[in-house]
Amino acid sequence: MPLSDDATITSKGQVTIPKRIRDELGLTAGTEIEFTVREDGTIRVRPKEPALQRLRGVKEQVAEQNVDTEKMRRESKAAWSSHIDGSDT
């Protein structure tokens, strides 16, 4: 069942997330949240995923696209190595 509530933006641009929504999402003080503005102007707000979890998601998306990740890793390593060694100049 969708949950909806209203809030007001303060003069400092801050918004208090209503308690019902904080409780539903498990948001507590210090929780990082992510705002996504969609093409239709709606805003999606959700708890920010930890970096490692986001990387796993990227890995899964890349795997779905049939990308040679080992080749990408080798090319990236070679590019960084030449940059660090100064042989790219």
Give residue 84's pLDDT: 74
pLDDT in tens, 20-76: 999 988 889 998 888 999 999 999 888 887 778 777 877 788 778 877 878 888 988
Taking each helix axis from N to C end, the angle separating 69-85 and 51-64, rounded to the nearest 10 degrees, works out to 120
Given a contact cutoff of 8 angstroms between Cβ atoms, the answer to whether 5 and 17 are in contact is no
More confident residue, 13 or 82: 13
pTM greater than 0.95:
no
CATH for the 1-48 domain, from 3.90.1300.10, 3.40.50.1220, 3.30.2290.10, 2.10.260.10? 2.10.260.10
The enclosing H or E element of 44 equals strand 43-47
Give residue 40's pLDDT: 96
Spatial separation of the C-alpha atoms in residues 58 and 18, rounded to whole Å: 31
Domain boundaries of the chain, sorted by first residue:
1-48, 51-85
